[in-house]
Amino acid sequence: MLTVAELAACVGGEFPPDRAAVQITGPAPLADAQPGEISFFGHPRYAAEMRTTRASAVLVPRDFQGETPAICIRVDNPSSAFTRITEQFHPAPSALPAGIHPSASVDPGAKVSPDASVQAQAVVEAGAVIGPRSVIGAGSCVGRNAVIGGDCLLHPHVVVREECVLGDRVILHCGVVIGSDGFGYDTREGRHHKIAQSGHVVIGNDVEIGANTTVDRARFGRTVIGEGTKIDNLVMIAHNVIIGRHCIICAQVGISGSTQVGDYVILAGQAGIVGHIKIGDQAIIGAQSGVSNDVEPKARLVGSPPRPIGEWKRTVVRIDRLAELYERVKRLEERAG
């Protein structure tokens, strides 16, 4: 339990001095918070919840002028501040002890840092390298000659296949598969013949990849995920895709082979990207968009085929009016005989 004053000090917040001693028991969503809890206000769409919240305190922007029964702690970025406050009540789990679990299988030809942790039932194949302080979660597999950098975290049941390379501080959540075969076949005489996938995957520093996402190895050369990129659950990245630095790729995005994605690109949920195209730096592709051509840097597109967001909104409005317009035309035709 912490006071309003203590929490405000953690995030550089301003608060009513007469409420400094109010006790806070933990964080909660704005609509569900109970007395004694703290939440945050990050978007005007939640103004109604602010007026009715039962939270004792709420983190708000410094210029907040709305109504709320809660104590307002004014900060520069309520969402970021809420994350730091949540950490005060829910500290990060203790680091796993270094060493190799007795049930793990580590080939004598692998190089595992003495500071690394290899958990129960994990497999580390010949020639693999595990960097200092990295954790190989229970049931995970690191393939032949794969390289895992320092301070990486592979949660349970992750697969990093042969020859793939991870930089430092990479996080792979449960069920991630790095280096699965690319989807490539030649059709001859009515049968599909597999094309050898002899490349690998290179993942830069500080990348995080969500549960059950797959990144295919290159047919030849490399599939690349750039430094600082964050990828959600259930994303499919095909062979020879190049993704730049600090991109955000949301759930159920699919990127076809040999496409190049620039730096600071955002791909919203369920966007589908055809192969062999280029998406420029800082472009934003809206949810459920189908992209089949190159995208200019800083473009803001949505739809299938994608178009600028303003144009897409106007088109949607017109489509919604088609039934009404049809009836009007029908009546005009009847009057005209």
CA–CA dist 76, 61 (Å, integer): 6
**Residue 69 to residues 55, 60, 140, Cα–Cα distance (Å):** 8, 13, 49
3-state secondary structure at position 153? strand
Looking at the chain, how many residues does it have?
337
3-state secondary structure at position 109? coil
CA–CA dist 181, 216 (Å, integer): 6
Tell me the H-state helices in the chain. 4-11, 47-52, 78-89, 309-320, 322-336
Among candidate residues 43, 239, 246, 276, the one labeled active-site is 239
Which residues are CB-neighbours of 14 under 8 A, at least 6 positions away?
Answer: 8, 62, 73, 74, 75
Q: Is 239 a catalytic residue?
A: yes
Active site members:
239
